Chain A
Amino acid sequence: MYEQIRRNRRASWLLMGMVVALLAALGYAIGAAWIGGTSGGLGLLGVFGIVAIAWSLIGYYTGDRLVLAVSGARQVTHDDAPQLYNVVEEMTIAAGLPQVPAVYIIEDPAPNAFATGRDPKHASVAVTSGLLGMMDREELQGVVAHELSHVRNYDIRFATLVGILVGMIALVADFFLRFSFFSGMGGRGRRDSGSGGDANAIFMVVAIALAILAPLAAYAVQFAISRKREYLADATGVQLTRNPLGLARALNVIASDPDSLRTANRATAHLYIANPLRGKKAKETAGLFDTHPPIQERIAILLAMAHAGPEALTAGPRPADATADAQQAGRAVPPPAASSGLPGLPGLPPILPPLGGMQAASGEAPAQAPKAPAPPVPPAPPSAG
């Protein structure tokens, strides 16, 4: 565990350094191509470098709040959701964390959960109201234990940074690609066609190549990191609850729910306990661009820990109804009750596009949340998918 913490700390610094370097390179290429010459390149390199450093620091210190805001999470106290809060407290004790993380609820029928923050003292856990509605106490415990394992391992720091920084690379590259197609190709290209034309053309190609490659590389990092972490957090979570079946049943519930989480997007998807963006078909194996290991495989591993067969997933008292919290708060689940007086989110469903074309829709979802702040992460260019 301590080694994992060290690795996460190192990876976080490395990521911030790499992103600054990548953006500086991107800035140089764009500057050289767009403004022209080495001086233009160096100028934009400086600008991009400073922006990247500033953004890294913002991501480090306020990344958790950004992620929570984009996800439409609202903080709850013990009195709002006693059972959820109690379970978080229980797992805090089991994990020996220095303090209880802030607890958030996302009003959404899709069952899912994530943790964010920069260290165990600045951590938050968010679960959807759908999850509260579908799970009994043991299952909820399994989910929360999984999330607090991420907290204890410092996975949250790295994963949050990845979300924020990767989002930014996509933003810059996206902006540049659009800009150069609409204006760069026309006016500027013609004026420079005399002396520096050849050099500019080369820079142009390099700049476009970088702009396409940068988000791809960044996404590849994102995908590579989180799969191993999920297995590890499952195992650590079981070490906390000593109850593999709770988490196995919880994952089974999550797996059998077909809905995507509306407020999740590709910059935050890897934070969740299970992929919140549901494709058309359930895959058996992990592809290159999957953020999560196949959920059936995770369930199988947990069942093996419990020396139980698949029948254990449905055996035992399976409550037909919600956890006490969902009932107590008067929240009807799955349709989020518009009457609960929650700020912001109940108005979502009508304006959402059908989620058939998952990749395209998912990135745009947060932008349409009425009161959610502007997402720092734009949809990645379709070519990146």
Chain B
Amino acid sequence: MIAIIVIIVVLVVLAAVFAGMYNSLIGRRNQVDNAWSQIDVQLKRRHDLIPNLVEAVKDYMSYEQETITKVTEARAAAINAGQQGPQAQAEAENALTGTLKSLFAVVESYPDLKANQNVMSLQEELTATENKISFARQFYNDTVLTYNNKLQMFPSNLIAGMFNFTARQYFVAPEADKEVPKVDLR
């Protein structure tokens, strides 16, 4: 009698532990997916902001139409790349970041534009969105780290193996992003 009770208790405890580990794996995996979708939200936001910026600056910058065209093209390419997998998307978004940087550099040389309230607030919004993109990627990598750790560490790796949980990929910065920005030390 006592032996049966002991066995039942042990089984119940084991089942509870298993369920806990399984649920925590699911929770972590959902967190990774959610973190990834947050990146997309911010990328989308950037795509939406760019036409406004182009509209605001194009009349001032009659000699810089090429820069503006490049931004518009890069935006279109980035939107298309969204359907072609994370790698292509990252590259296209990176190219877009580059063209935006050169556009803002040009804006700097137009005092009228720099002082324009509309341009200023668009610039702030785009800066914020760029930051949000990189912080969202950073957070995505953090969640991947905790998820992959759980996946590979004992004892939750046993359950992960049983239910075919697979490790997630880190977001890796495209080559151009790795260039250390030049800092002017005075």
Contacts and interface: CB of A to CB of B under 8 A. Distances in A.
Interface of A: 82-83, 86-87, 89-91, 93-96, 137, 240, 242, 315-316, 324, 328
B120 A324 contact: yes
A93 B136 contact: yes
B35 interface: yes
Nearest to A137: B127
A90 B185 contact: no
Is chain A's interface secondary structure helix, strand, loop, or mixed overall?
A: helix
Interface in B12-36: 31, 35
B185 to A, nearest CB: 6
6 contacts: A82-B125, A86-B127, A89-B132, A96-B35, A96-B143, A137-B127
Contacts of B124: 82-83, 86, 324
A242 B139 CA distance: 12
Contacts of A86: 124-125, 127-128, 131
Contacts of B136: 93
Given A90-B131, A93-B139, A315 B185 contact: yes
Is chain B's interface secondary structure helix, strand, loop, or mixed overall?
A: helix
Nearest to B38: A93
Contact of A93 (B121, B135, B186): B135
Contacts of B121: 82, 328
B64 interface: no
Chain B: interface size category:
20 to 34
The 9 closest A-B pairs by CB, nearest first: A86-B128, A94-B135, A93-B135, A90-B131, A96-B139, A93-B136, A90-B132, A93-B132, A90-B135
A89 B127 CA distance: 12
B66 interface: no
Nearest to B143: A96
A286 B130 CA distance: 40
Given A90-B131, A94-B139, A315-B186, 4 more contacts: A82-B125, A93-B135, A94-B138, A328-B121
B142 interface: yes
Contacts of B132: 89-90, 93
A239 to B, nearest CB: 9
B180 to A, nearest CB: 14
A286 to B, nearest CB: 32
A90 B143 CA distance: 17
A87 B139 contact: no
Interface in B85-124: 120-121, 124
A90 B38 contact: no
Nearest to B140: A96
A90 B35 contact: no
A102 B118 CA distance: 25
A93 B136 CA distance: 6
A80 to B, nearest CB: 13
Contacts of B138: 94, 242
B186 A91 contact: no
A325 to B, nearest CB: 9
B105 to A, nearest CB: 15
Contacts of B38: 93
Contacts of A324: 120, 124
Residue among B31, B124, B136, B185 with max Cβ neighbours from chain A (10 Å): B124
A145 to B, nearest CB: 10
A88 to B, nearest CB: 10
A90 B42 CA distance: 10
Contact of B135 (A91, A137, A328): A91
